[in-house]
Structure 1
Amino acid sequence: MKRLWLWMVVLALLLLPAGVKAAPKGKVVLGMAGALTTFDPHTFSSLPISMHHPNVFETLLARAPDGSMTNQLAESYKMVAPTVWEFKLRKGVKFSNGDPVNAEAVKFSFERILDPKMKSRQYRYFKSMAKLEVVDEHTVRIHTKKPDPMLPPFLAIYGFIVPPKYYKQHDKKHLSRNPVGSGPFVMKKWRKGQEVVYEANPNAWRKPRVKTAVVKFIPESTTRVSALISGDVDVIDNLPPALSERVRAGGKTDVIAKQSPRTNYILMVIKEGAPWMDVRVRRAMNLAINREAITKNVMMGFAKSVAIIQGPASFGFNPELKPYPYDPAQAKKLLAEAGFAKGFSFDVYIPRGRFMMGKEALEGIAGQWAKVGLKANVRVMEWGAMKKIIFSKYKKNVKPFLYYLARMNTAFSAEHMFAGAISSRSAYGGFRDKGVDAMINDARSTLDNKSREKKYQEIARVLRHEKVPIVPLYQTFRIFGANKKIDWKPRADGKLIAAEVGLK
């Protein structure tokens, strides 16, 4: 009887489809600096969100760990006309609640993002969409208002597909905490600002590398490092360079570093009443910063200065542009010409623990500004409180201010960076210029790659030499600490995605 039972088990295993993988096992615990604010995949856009939502949801396209474009829910896609993209979907894929992933789900998901009532921060990526057409159950066409060659790269970042029935049945508050997607994990528990617990999705066609992943939100760097060394967490992100030797000395932990396309910069709210309404002041603020000293002494070599907002990995990068030189004498001269020979004071905000050595770098920059008469009041805040200030920046009763942010170029394109920090439509930008907006829109709709690249390079030249809308700083390395039992390599886009972390 036992022998018969054994043969039945063996036969069952042999009859399993070739694509079926064994159920994932094990558990990993990650310690991350930035916390996400919602599990609604269509409302906001940020690096913490883009590191969590891919665990639960899927997009039509995606970026492989090496940065290359790859298919995800789309089995294939092509441009059938200058303003029409056709996507063939994978068959047999289901959401975690059992609903099918089909063309109707794709249509619903993008229409939800584009709905003005949603006030989606992702709208700017898909604003070129005119309509979505369901050809058949597994074929969908996206019609654009004008040619948009940047659509595929953006479809590899946002545009997560959700089940229409479920998302129609519930209000936004419920959906922000109870997500349903087709990704490798389901979200089992979320204590906002503290931790998220993921469990393997039994319906997923892409399996996670472990059964359970716990993400603990630890904004303070030293606390994250202590948690790693003590074994409370297995991987941490945003490891400060100054603490890297402590991680290496732990014996069971190591440092993993990779150059990332994440640019750190300081934005200015350019509006009436701001001293920096005068471009000479904006130029002076750039010339007063010794970027080489900051990258060497604060970042300990784990950063490279940039000329404007994107680095060499970006499509549209202009190699002719160089970072602003350190010239405090010229900065003083420009300030005097603009009527600020005695300088002025202002607030500059930075979120607590969100950017690697951000507070330390900003304090160093404030010290350099002080040498030319610019008195910066560095204000460290929780990210939620800081966002409210940023979003109210154009209100008449709000004094002009500066704020330190960073943007990960996950689309590896100048368009992505311009859309998030330079365009007038950017929720996080502080610069509004109709001429620059027109240049950005024109470049995005140019189909020829070489022509589009030249247009982006020209936009960068105008920004660097004429408009000076921001204070560009540097692109940082993404530095992680990891227990040696972990099997994982950092991605080209700098994201730490729990579903990709395994055990040796």
Structure 2
Amino acid sequence: MLDASGPWGTAPFILSEGYSSIENKIAIITRKPFACTWLTEAEDRTSVVRLEANPNYWNKKRGPRIERVVFRNDLSPEQALELCTSTEGHVDIVTDVEPADASGVVSSACAKLISVDANQVLAGTFNRFAKDSSFHDRRLREAFNLSVNRENVIAKGFLGYANTIAAMTPSWAKDFPEELKPRPYDPAKARQLFREAGGWPSGRVLEIAATEKYGSPARLIANDIKNVLRIDTKVKIIPESSKNKWLRVAAEKKLLPNWDILLVDTFALFSEATPAFIHREYFGADGAYRAGPKFETFDQLYAQMASETDPDQLILKAKQIDRYVYHESLALFLIAPKKLYAVNRHVNFQPYRSTFELAETEVNNQHWSRRT
């Protein structure tokens, strides 16, 4: 949070003008020991936030390689994308481009599309609080995992800009268990496990909740489950204005969620100790997305990883956690969406898997700032 104008900072850039801050409210998960999650309710940004190159940055080899960065907060995402793809001198980089807009960037004469395999995961959390379902049974969770055609979800729901995942750790992370493979689409085995687990309550509609961003993938997933397991499904789209209310219910665990599967994403800030960022949110005692009683085995494995100080042992224990959630099918394992950027054709932008960084970014002699 940068809530006052600079200049200040010790990173590659120094804040020299404007500010960017957020307003959060907490959702209490447990009181003893205290655990909570922060829900962003508002964002307060000046129309322009200006960063200047830090001449005293310690890593000269890394950068910075540009003199100034200006964030324009006076533009909508649509306006920013239009300026980047059809003009020069107004917007050089647009973050979080939607897959539906990617083709327009690719065909642009002014910009190029850059994608990166990000440390972000989209998965479904099972509502194990519901007394009339059997999500406590591993066979039922496995049946749902085998019912989803992930390649089809990627092709139609993300237009190809995503990767399949085996469990919750992306395959490019340092702590990914190499032997794990994404669940296959196997309707016959899914139906067999579904019957063995006792099936689904007669006449009961399976309700899948998802934010507007993931509405299309949610419908594809619901259709797969309906066709394979032969149960009625319904998709609940969560409006952006109501997103925090739904997440608060999931986090605080006071009210019974009015969904059976919640599609939600989260990300990791680093490529090791991935469970600290992703797995914990879905399965941990202090996980905001855990919808059911605590997983004692998970919490034990997580405590062992969290107390590890040896880097190599940390990775081994992180892998053990991903193996456990994989074999227990603790979530509806889905995909890792790619991060997409629209970038001016004369800008050499170096994307990161976890954060938005500009230290190595540079422009060539044909860039508008140098031509003029």
TM-score by length of 1: 0.56
Q: Which amino acid aligns with 1:446?
A: E
CA drift of 1:217 comes to 7.0
Q: Which amino acid aligns with 1:390?
A: L
In 1, Cα distance between equivalents of 2:193 and 2:8: 50
In 1, Cα distance between equivalents of 2:74 and 2:285: 35
In 1, Cα distance between equivalents of 2:8 and 2:203: 50
Residue number in structure 2 paired with 1:17: none
In 1, Cα distance between equivalents of 2:67 and 2:290: 38
Residue number in structure 1 paired with 2:37: 121
Give the match's secondary structure for 1:392.
helix
Q: Which amino acid aligns with 1:363?
A: R
Show the 5 A alignment for 1:41-60. none
CA drift of 1:391 comes to 1.8
Task: Please tell me whether the aligned partners of residues 51 and 68 of structure 2 are also in contact (alpha carbons under 8 angstroms).
Answer: yes
1:321 to 180, 184, 195: 180
Task: Please tell me whether the aligned partners of residues 344 and 373 of structure 1 are also in contact (alpha carbons under 8 angstroms).
Answer: no
Give the match's secondary structure for 1:477.
strand
How far does the alpha carbon of each residue in 1:410-449 deviate from its partner, in whole angstroms, 9 at most, with x for none? 2212233223332120223335212211110112212333
In 2, Cα distance between equivalents of 1:257 and 1:324: 25
Residue number in structure 1 paired with 2:143: 284
Residue number in structure 1 paired with 2:50: 199
Give the match's secondary structure for 1:340.
coil
| Cα 1:459–1:212 shift into 2, 3 Å | closer
Residue number in structure 1 paired with 2:212: 352
In 1, Cα distance between equivalents of 2:280 and 2:168: 11
How far does the alpha carbon of each residue in 1:122-153 deviate from its partner, in whole angstroms, 9 at most, with x for none? 8xxxxxxxxxxxxxxxxxxxxxxxxxxxxxxx
Show the 5 A alignment for 1:392-471. 392-393=249-250, 394-413=253-272, 414-415=274-275, 416-430=277-291, 432-466=294-328, 468-471=329-332
Task: Please tell me whether the aligned partners of residues 268 and 401 of structure 1 are also in contact (alpha carbons under 8 angstroms).
Answer: yes
| Cα 1:426–1:237 shift into 2, 3 Å | same
Task: Please tell me whether the aligned partners of residues 84 and 111 of structure 2 are also in contact (alpha carbons under 8 angstroms).
Answer: yes
| Cα 1:245–1:310 shift into 2, 3 Å | same
Residue number in structure 2 paired with 1:473: 334
Residue number in structure 2 paired with 1:248: 106
CA drift of 1:401 comes to 3.2
How far does the alpha carbon of each residue in 1:373-424 deviate from its partner, in whole angstroms, 9 at most, with x for none? 2433222223452221122132345434322222222221223322333212
CA drift of 1:218 comes to 4.7
Show the 5 A alignment for 1:235-384. 235-273=93-131, 275=133, 276-340=135-199, 344-353=204-213, 358-371=214-227, 372-384=229-241
Give the match's secondary structure for 2:119.
strand
CA drift of 1:477 comes to 2.2
Residue number in structure 1 paired with 2:60: none
How far does the alpha carbon of each residue in 1:453-498 deviate from its partner, in whole angstroms, 9 at most, with x for none? 33222222221112x22111122322211232444221232x3357
CA drift of 1:316 comes to 2.4
| Cα 1:391–1:205 shift into 2, 3 Å | farther
Task: Please tell me whether the aligned partners of residues 164 and 182 of structure 2 are also in contact (alpha carbons under 8 angstroms).
Answer: yes
Residue number in structure 2 paired with 1:103: none
| Cα 1:398–1:430 shift into 2, 3 Å | closer
Task: Please tell me whether the aligned partners of residues 52 and 68 of structure 2 are also in contact (alpha carbons under 8 angstroms).
Answer: no
Task: Please tell me whether the aligned partners of residues 40 and 177 of structure 1 are also in contact (alpha carbons under 8 angstroms).
Answer: no
Task: Please tell me whether the aligned partners of residues 290 and 326 of structure 1 are also in contact (alpha carbons under 8 angstroms).
Answer: yes
Task: Please tell me whether the aligned partners of residues 266 and 405 of structure 1 are also in contact (alpha carbons under 8 angstroms).
Answer: yes
> How many residue pairs end up in the alignment?
329
Q: Which amino acid aligns with 1:418?
A: H
How far does the alpha carbon of each residue in 1:315-368 deviate from its partner, in whole angstroms, 9 at most, with x for none? 321112111111112222222233336574233222233xxxx33222211110
How far does the alpha carbon of each residue in 1:207-259 deviate from its partner, in whole angstroms, 9 at most, with x for none? 8842532136757xx77654543447443233344543322222112111222
Task: Please tell me whether the aligned partners of residues 15 and 51 of structure 2 are also in contact (alpha carbons under 8 angstroms).
Answer: no
Q: Which amino acid aligns with 2:125?
A: L
Give the match's secondary structure for 1:456.
helix
In 2, Cα distance between equivalents of 1:56 and 1:400: 48
| Cα 1:177–1:464 shift into 2, 3 Å | closer
In 2, Cα distance between equivalents of 1:435 and 1:199: 48
Task: Please tell me whether the aligned partners of residues 200 and 210 of structure 1 are also in contact (alpha carbons under 8 angstroms).
Answer: yes
Q: Could you tell me the percent identity over the aligned residues?
A: 18
Q: Which runs of 5+ in 2 are unaligned?
A: 18-31, 58-63, 368-372
| Cα 1:474–1:177 shift into 2, 3 Å | closer
Give the match's secondary structure for 1:313.
coil
Q: Which amino acid aligns with 1:259?
A: D
Task: Please tell me whether the aligned partners of residues 102 and 113 of structure 2 are also in contact (alpha carbons under 8 angstroms).
Answer: yes
Residue number in structure 2 paired with 1:27: none
Task: Please tell me whether the aligned partners of residues 209 and 500 of structure 1 are also in contact (alpha carbons under 8 angstroms).
Answer: no
Task: Please tell me whether the aligned partners of residues 9 and 15 of structure 2 are also in contact (alpha carbons under 8 angstroms).
Answer: no
| Cα 1:373–1:445 shift into 2, 3 Å | same
Q: Which amino acid aligns with 1:436?
A: F
In 2, Cα distance between equivalents of 1:501 and 1:429: 39
Higher relative contact order, structure no. (Cα contacts within 8 Å, ≥ 6 residues apart): 2
Query: Which structure has the larger Rg?
Result: 1
How far does the alpha carbon of each residue in 1:1-23 deviate from its partner, in whole angstroms, 9 at most, with x for none? xxxxxxxxxxxxxxxxxxxxxxx
Task: Please tell me whether the aligned partners of residues 53 and 67 of structure 2 are also in contact (alpha carbons under 8 angstroms).
Answer: no
| Cα 1:501–1:385 shift into 2, 3 Å | farther
Residue number in structure 1 paired with 2:370: none
Give the match's secondary structure for 1:277.
coil
How far does the alpha carbon of each residue in 1:70-94 deviate from its partner, in whole angstroms, 9 at most, with x for none? xx59xxxxxxxxxxxxxxxxxxxx9
CA drift of 1:297 comes to 4.2
